A = this chain, B = another copy of it.
């Protein structure tokens, strides 16, 4: 469905980096939910540029809800949010016209749209579009929170520096989520935070960029949600997460580490203690594509920003000539710390949508029992 995601709840995104605005429509929200617009702004802030570590393009990024909200509460009809573009510098891109930036979507957009794409600032492929995911997903996050679900991410790895992982103890993990959700640069270990920032600044000085890995934990998501075969929680979450530019790998729990585990190490034994739980959580709260009530743990790899200031070999697709390319303008040496809230918000959207699918059956399942 191209620019629409979801089943019961859908998110449709539109806009280009240098157009008048970007926007997003959420359709299928429950009515009567009191939207906390301050909380949306806080999430928008986390995605925004911060100091030297980020781009110098400065956008207010104040989302304007133009439909689906009445007297502060959702109406249940489509909720559309517009985010104006204000600080474009389109001329930065004029010199690039035809010159393909390595690692970017310039060439593939040209092939996909036969040369009619808006090439300014990456157009519809700009990371700026993730502001829409944040604005929309932030509302989903609020709805989940009102049902006790907690979501947070930290920079598990930035360049060569690794943070410590979220605690495997649920209570402690909950505190860690609270902690990182108050931070702009979400790292658990303060020393690692400094080291990461140094690594980013160093890369920036070299005209280069840095990537990393985010670890996301979701607590208190109910058991029994997700579907077999195609709409597994893993499949739905990965589908959503790959919508974030620069994501090239998504894994759950032990992830690729499962390859070297034995079954006896990888299985999570069950134990009954008030409720059915698992002793370990290698499988990240998901079995057979369906939640089991344990924390959902996701790893998302963000590649280093492709906009670097070093000279690169490239091609001009208008002249078919090999050229040297040197990108100018305002760019992030690292987007990992900004991507973290995008990941949180995308997970919130997917998990709320999946929950609704299960909810659609409940009245009919309960009745069946009575027969």
Contact = CB atoms under 8 A, between A and B. Distances in A.
B367 A146 contact: yes
A288 B292 CA distance: 33
Interface in A274-320: 276, 278-279, 283-284, 286-293, 299, 301-308, 310, 312-315, 317, 320
Chain A facing B: main interface SS: mixed
Contacts of A356: 360-361, 364
Nearest to A2: B227
Nearest to A364: B30
Given A8-B360, A73-B368, A251-B301, 8 more contacts: A2-B227, A100-B276, A108-B226, A111-B293, A112-B358, A239-B239, A263-B304, A276-B315
Contacts of A320: 272, 276
Interface stretch (A45-53, A113-121, A187-195): A113-121
Given A104-B287, A223-B108, A272-B322, A312 B117 contact: no
A28 interface: yes
Number of copies: 4
Interface stretch (A54-62, A172-180, A240-248): A240-248
Interface residues of A, number: 166
A116 B74 contact: yes
B260 A249 contact: no
Contacts of A23: 66-67, 80
B2 A27 contact: yes
A33 B365 CA distance: 7
A108 B287 CA distance: 6
